[in-house]
Structure 1
Amino acid sequence: MSQKTAPDAPADKPGFLVESHSIGYVPRSERYGRPLNQFTLWFGSNLNITCIVTGALAVVLGGDVIWSIIGLLIGQILGGAVMSLHSVQGPRLGLPQMISSRAQFGVYGAVIPLVLVILMYIGFAASGTVLAGQAVAGLIHSPHWTGIIIFGIVTAVIAIIGYRLIHVMGRLASLISGLAFVYLTIRLLTGTDLGALFGDNHFTVSSFVLAMSLSASWQIAYGPYVADYSRYLPASTKQGTTFWSTFAGAVIGSQWSMTFGVLAAAIAGDKFAGDEVGFVVSLGGTGIVAAALYFVIALGKLCVNVLNAYGGFMSTITTITGFAGHREITKSARAVVVSAIMVIAMVIALAGSTNFVDKFSTFLLFLLTFFTPWSAVNLVDFYFLSKERYDVPAIGDPNGRYGKWNVAAIASYVIGLAAQMPFLYTSFYTGPFVKALGNTDYSWIIGLIVPAIVYFILSKIIKRSIPTRLILPDDAEGEKVE
């Protein structure tokens, strides 16, 4: 049964016009860019105050400096690998990340993880707006609420313009924030007794795994939108190049920020917790240096918050068009959806700007429960079952190859969620196995392994139609991708 689709969107032209494509396939003739842009985007996006706060939690919640840094690094590597495997799908399929979930969950079934992804984007946008609002308010000497509103408006405008401007921001943030972090790191460590700081070692399994969980969840949470920012790369881009460019940017940037947070929390203690932005700015003193640091903090958060708004827009449109048909939307509709997402985020930020660290810790760790099973299903399907052979035109048709629902994927996702619960440790729910495991959260490990195995087995039992090659909408225009 055929479905109506909107005409192909016109190619994006150089400059900062509103992006023409939304969730639709990006034709090979319109691809551009270099894998280096993936490095700068993820490096610059992770040099931000929220990432610093996340690293600080490892110490605030009981860890020491050395083992917190090591635990964070291991989590970065594990979570960064998962994230970067998703990034490879962008240039291969020419699609945003979550719409490709229709090939695993079915056109309607993909809505199940999508609803949770949208909540994640709004939550991250709200939490980021809290800290960025402090920076903007400090920069222009205004009340905190004014900073939140200004930051939210700027975020929405850039997300509406879209992909090209987002990557320009990534390059700027890499350069400006990178230089600022060198300065801040030197200022933080100046006059500090490094021997005493690193000599206080008290390894505990619970604190070590907590540090791993914080950084792994940080990286895995990028998974649902990482391909959004690689989908314009030429189809000929080597998969290894895409992987390592994304991996290096995300891991180096976030590890630097989180290590800074560990050191800041250990050195400053109560002076850091609760006034994170103020403490970072105080490292530069007052006057023009302080103003510059407020700007850097706002820029770093703007970069990552735009990703949240843009990703939220993509996921919202993917959800709606799953039932209405796979098609592009108008630029005015794009503006409305992005604006609505940021309005909700600003309202949450204005209402919940106190006790930020505690609330963010709970939010971040609990999010991991819902996205590791999705990552497991998506990656097993792409690399081991379908082996990158997708019928991209059929992804928009509920009556086509992928159908409305895929029982194997949905069941695996639900089983993955259930399997995590006994191992989950948050402030509002503790699983029955947590105490016996030293009050340590192992749910994210379970959430990767169990659904991956279940989905692989169920997919062998419940057969699906898998094409013999990757089928792209513009195959007739050029050489077919085998």
Structure 2
Amino acid sequence: MSLPPAPSSTPATGPQSVFDGRMPAEPGDLRIEARGIAPVPGHHRYGGPGRLFTVWFAPNLTMTGVFTGTVGIALGLDLPTALAAVVLGTLLGAVPTAYLGTWGSRTGAGQLPLARLAFGRSVTVPGLLQWLSSVAWDALIGLFGGDALARLCGWPFWLGVLLMMLGQGSLGVLGYEAIHRLQKLMTFVLAAAFVALAFRLPDSVHTAAGSAHGADRAGAFILTSTIALSLALSWAPYASDFSRYLPQNTSRPRMFWYTLLGVSVSFVAVQSLGLWGAAVFTDQTARGVDRLLGGGVLGALGLLAVALAALCSNAMNDYSGSLALQTIGLRVPRPVAAAIAAVLGFPLVLWMHAADTTARFQNVLLFVGYWIPGFVAVVAVDWFARGRRGEPVDPTTESVRTRSGRPALVAFCAAFAAAVPFMNTGLYTGPVASALHGADLAYYVAFLTALVVYAPLRLRRHRTPHST
């Protein structure tokens, strides 16, 4: 697909806009990034595609992924079948994330700001959902990181979570370059820590045959793959946020493969660890890690790794959350918006920790992602249509504030509505999911529905360009 070069101009709001501001100038420039949703000009781009591997590898080496990996065993699958479901789901979720990530260097814009091309003023809906999702992910990951920090230092749980949120919020405030540099370092540190953890598992591995059979086994396989898919796909609305400073001529195939490998290898590794040690990893996974490593110095290093992993991942949640908050129209400086996401994640962690962590974890994990397949389908169709027609791909070149984006919103809402009967969570199980023995097909149904609904609406909009 051939697209015209994206202009490097700043938005009409001017260089002093709250959406504009200081940008990192080179690798290692760790001063606070004030740049918000304004596209990054071509002369400020730097770095290579290899950065995308580490920025997408390290943040997934969390106990959230390990805990998710135990779900397949809990549903009654044997180890090989559960592993196959994890690999399949992870790859299906990683491909859209890798594809969307190639848009950053092309446009200099983040993922939600680019969504304005398709959604126009209606971008408020996915933008708000993305911001809420970033807060939810703060809780999902901060739950384990805060617990690990509290156990490591002998603090109450709430204090460990509070300091975790302060650390990740600070990184989110520093912005793009600080996150890239941290993830590069943590790729090696966390990989070594999780390898050490894996070496302690042989005495406690899960080797029992699965208890699910027939249709129940098929339903458990699909649900396990859907949960794995939800992890990898959750990064899709963030994807170009972390490639928007790459030069415009950066190889898009290399960007795609580095991102795909970073996301898929890391997620498969940690979920496999969860499958392998399902008998050890309980709701309180930080305690499980400490016990597995035998306490002492090794246990302390394990807990520190869990806390650092959560810090890496949540810093990205807060950063992308700050861009989403600006995208919906709030004129809040990006560093302030990043801090807000971290602050709001704190009470949600405490809520998850207060009762059945397993149920609340799975419920939040699935619900924060059901909107994403419809979003991906809409923006991908819009991008493809622009490429075929040679249209601009920079939101600063279009009057996105005066265009309703109704076709995109219709497809987006239709996708979610169509997915409801196929959902399976602890809070709600749709009639189709029940009939399919717990199989959750909601993600696939949402994507296909948005694709079928939006494609003809998008073509119709171009035949009657003033209809919206």
The verdict on a shared fold, with TM-score over 0.5 as the criterion, is yes
Name the residue aligned to 2:338: 338
Cα distance change, pair 259–345 in 1 and its aligned pair in 2 (3 A): same
Distance in structure 2 (CA, Å) of the matches to 1:199 and 1:60 = 9
The alignment status of 1:141 with 2:136, answered yes or no, reads no
Aligned equivalent of 2:76: 62
Cα distance in 2 for residues equivalent to 1:396 and 1:6: 18
Q: Residue 42 of structure 2 corresponds to which residue in structure 1?
A: 28
Cα shift readout 1:376-418 (whole Å, capped 9, x = no counterpart): 111122134544842425367445xxx4312211111111111
Residues 248, 348 of structure 1: alpha-carbon distance in 2 compared, 3 angstrom cutoff: same
Task: Find the partner of 2:244 among 217, 231, 241.
Answer: 231
Shift of 1:62: 2.8
Name whichever of 217-226 and 13-22 sits farther off: 13-22
Q: Which string of whole-angstrom CA distances, capped at 9 and with x for unpartnered residues, describes residues 452-481 of structure 1? A: 121111112222799xxxxxxxxxxxxxxx
Counterpart in the other structure of 1:221: 234
Q: What's the TM-score, normalizing by structure 2? A: 0.90
* 1:454–1:315 CA distance, 2 compared to 1 (3 A): same
Partner of 2:104 in structure 1? 90
Question: How big is the shift at 1:229?
Answer: 0.5
Shift of 1:181: 1.3
- Out of 294, 308, 314, the position equivalent to 1:305 is 314
Deviation at 1:337, TM superposition (A): 2.0
Change (3 A) 1:435 1:404: same
User: For residue 264 of structure 1, what is the amino acid of its counterpart?
Assistant: G
Taking the aligned partners of 2:376 and 2:211, their CA distance within structure 1 comes to 37
Residues 11/363 of structure 1: CA separation in 2 closer, same or farther (3 Å cut): closer
Q: Residues 190-229 of structure 1 correspond to what in structure 2 (within 5 A)?
A: 191=203, 196-197=207-208, 204-229=217-242
Deviations 1:103-124 (A, max 9, x none): 0011x11111111111111111
CA distance in 2, matches of 1:212, 1:365: 12
Alignment map for 1:370-389 (pairs within 5 Å): 370-387=371-388, 389=391
Q: Using the TM superposition, give the Cα deviation of residue 353 of structure 1 relative to its aligned residue in structure 2, in angstroms.
A: 1.0
How many residue pairs match? The answer is 446
**Partner secondary structure for residue 353 of structure 2:** coil
- Residue type of the partner of 1:446? V
In structure 2, what is the Cα distance between the partners aligned to 1:193 and 1:373?
Answer: 38
Q: Which residue of 1 aligns with 2:122?
A: 109
Moved more, 53-62 or 141-150: 53-62
**Conservation of the 8 A alpha-carbon contact between 1:64 and 1:202:** no
Contact 1:102–1:395 under 8 Å retained in 2: no
- SS where residue 52 of structure 2 aligns? helix
Mark the CA change 1:201 to 1:184 in structure 2 (over 3 Å): closer, same or farther.
farther
The residue identity in structure 2 corresponding to 1:240 is P
Are the structure 2 counterparts of residues 291 and 398 from structure 1 closer, same or farther at C-alpha, using a change threshold of 3 Å? same
Paired-residue identity, %: 26
Distance in 1, Cα, partners of 2:313 & 2:247:
24
In structure 1, what is the equivalent of residue 88 of structure 2? 74
Question: Residue 425 of structure 1 aligns with which residue?
Answer: 424
CA distance in 2, matches of 1:215, 1:383: 27
- Partner SS for 2:122: coil
Q: How do 1:1-400 residues align onto structure 2 when only pairs under 5 Å count?
A: 3-7=12-16, 9-13=21-25, 14-106=28-120, 108-189=121-202, 191=203, 196-197=207-208, 204-265=217-278, 267-268=279-280, 272-320=281-329, 333-354=333-354, 355-387=356-388, 389-392=391-394, 394=396, 397-398=399-400
Which residue of the partner structure matches residue 4 of structure 2?
none
Q: Retained in 2: the 8 A contact 1:408–1:458?
A: yes
- 2:7 counterpart residue number: none
- Tell me which stretches of 4 or more aligned residues in structure 1 moved more than 6 Å: 198-201
**SS in structure 1 at match of 2:201:** helix
Q: 1:200 to 1:62 in 2, by over 3 A?
A: closer
Q: Partners of 1:104 and 1:386 in 2: how far apart?
A: 13
CA contact (8 A) 1:221 1:368 kept: yes
Structure 2 residues without counterparts, runs of 5 or longer? 1-10
Show structure 1 runs of 5+ residues with no match: 467-482
Partner residue in 2 for 1:461: 460
With over 3 angstroms needed to count, the CA separation of the structure-2 counterparts of 1:199 and 1:64, relative to structure 1, is closer
The AA in structure 2 aligned to 1:86 is: L
The AA in structure 2 aligned to 1:381 is: D
Q: 1:198 to 1:351 in 2, by over 3 A?
A: closer
Contact kept in structure 1, 2:119 and 2:406, CA below 8 Å: yes
User: Does the CA contact (< 8 Å) of 1:425 and 1:434 recur in 2?
Assistant: yes
The one-letter code of the counterpart of 1:183 is A
SS at match of 1:110: helix
Aligned residue for 1:132, secondary structure, equals helix
Query: Shift of residue 428 of structure 1?
Result: 2.4
* Aligned 8 A contact 1:12 1:20 in 2: no
**Structure 1-normalised TM-score?**
0.87
Superposition deviation, residue 433 in structure 1: 2.0
- Residues 58 and 186 of structure 2 are in contact (CA less than 8 Å); yes or no, is this contact kept in structure 1? yes
Cα pair distance change 1:180/1:200, threshold 3 Å: farther
DSSP 3-state at the match of 1:425: coil
Q: CA separation of 1:35/1:60 partners in 2, compared to 1, >3 Å: closer, same or farther? A: same
